[in-house]
């Protein structure tokens, strides 16, 4: 018998043997009763301990948890989308935040990256898209977010992600970084690799949403500007 079932069974038999229940029609004297062995008693009690918040030291859990999923998303891949889908189930609100960092020389502008995200997050009602420049912790503060969501594909991601998470914790200890392990089906996908493969004529279907593939086609087939 599985342990829990066994425990429930022994509790039931203890109750039916308890002194108050001995007149019950379901009570059958057992061999222990006949020998006068003291009956075990089962006591049910609910213990509620109220710890004042000042003693717990931990900040109280907010009513609704808002998480920020920051990144370059240049462009969004199916790996990112998988994380968004899973994050939308874990948190009350999820804000996918595009980093406006022109020094990274993105293929798509921040507006284009946001438009691509908006095209695919529509089916998740608690997901919104935004952008930010400057400190991520300040951006999180503007949204009253308490969680930063990041993905880990391999050990190679870990070192960078750890540094970022520790720095962000130092800047705002109330902001927790939560890591989700990449879905194994997408763990080899990165925006950089998708762009490289596509530029060389490789097939990227299944790696990015179809709307992103169409935009990539348009962007890469555009003639290069003089001097670019
Ligand atoms: P960044 O420039 O901040 O690294 P990215 O857009 O490359 O931005 O990635 C944003 C986050 O998404 C990072 O935490 C990254 O590890 C994660 N990520 C990227 N690609 C994938 C993937 N295929 N599966 C899961 N997580 C991913």
pLDDT over 90 percentage in the chain: 65
Dist CA 120 CA 62 (whole Å) = 28
- The DSSP code for 36 is T
Residues labelled as active-site residues? 80, 104, 153, 191
Neighbours of 128 (CB within 10 A): 16
Question: What is the residue with the minimal CA distance to atom 2 of ligand 1?
Answer: 72
pLDDT at 59: 62
* Residue 189 Cα to ligand 1 middle (Å): 9
Residues facing residue 178 across a β-bridge: 149
Among 82, 99, 108, 150, the mutation site with the greatest number of ligand 1 atoms within 8 A of its Cβ is: 150
Question: What is the residue with the minimal CA distance to atom 27 of ligand 1?
Answer: 151
**pLDDT tens digits for range 125-158:** 999 999 999 999 999 999 999 999 999 999 989 9
Dist CA 65 CA 48 (whole Å) = 26
At residue 200, the 3 state secondary structure works out as coil
Q: 103 falls in which pLDDT band (50, 70, 90)?
A: confident
Is residue 161 within 8 A of residue 190, CB to CB? The reply is no
């Amino acid at each position: 018998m599985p342990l829990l079932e066994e425990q429930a069974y022994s509790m039931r038999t203890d109750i039916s043997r308890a002194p108050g229940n001995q007149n019950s029609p379901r009570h059958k004297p057992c061999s222990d009763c006949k020998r006068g062995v003291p009956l075990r008693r089962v006591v049910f009690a609910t213990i509620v301990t109220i710890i004042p918040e000042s003693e717990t030291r931990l900040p109280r859990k907010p009513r609704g948890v808002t998480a920020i999923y920051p990144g370059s998303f240049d462009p969004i891949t199916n790996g990112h989308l998988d994380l968004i889908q899973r994050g939308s189930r874990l948190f009350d609100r999820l804000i996918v935040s595009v980093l406006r960092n022109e020094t990274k020389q993105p293929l798509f502008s921040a507006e284009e990256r946001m438009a691509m995200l908006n095209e695919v997050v529509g089916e998740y009602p608690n997901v919104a898209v935004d952008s930010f420049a400057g400190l991520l912790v300040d951006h999180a503060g503007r949204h009253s977010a308490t969680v930063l969501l990041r993905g880990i594909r391999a050990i190679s991601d870990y070192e960078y992600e750890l540094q970022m998470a520790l720095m962000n914790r130092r800047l705002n200890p109330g902001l927790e970084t939560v890591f989700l392990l990449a879905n194994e089906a997408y763990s080899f996908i990165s925006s950089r690799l998708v762009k490289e493969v596509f530029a060389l004529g490789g097939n990227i279907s299944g790696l990015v949403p179809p709307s992103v593939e169409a935009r990539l086609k348009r962007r890469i087939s555009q003639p290069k500007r003089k001097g670019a």
